[in-house]
Amino acid sequence: MSKAQILAIDDDVTWLGQIPIILEEEAVIVPASTVDEGVRLLSQHYFDTIILDLNFDGDERTGSAIFGQIKAVANGASIIVISGETDHRRLIEVFNAG
* Pairwise pLDDT comparison (27 vs 98), residue with the higher score: 27
* Pairwise pLDDT comparison (95 vs 24), residue with the higher score: 24
Mean pLDDT value across residues 10-37: 92
CA–CA distance, 45 with 25 (Å, rounded to integer)? 21
> Which of 76, 82, 80 is CA-nearest to residue 56?
82
Single pTM value for the model: 0.86
Q: H or E segment at 70?
A: helix 63-73
How would residue 94 be classed by pLDDT, with cut points 50, 70 and 90? Answer: low
pLDDT tens profile 30-86:
999 999 999 999 999 999 999 998 888 888 887 788 888 999 999 999 999 887 767
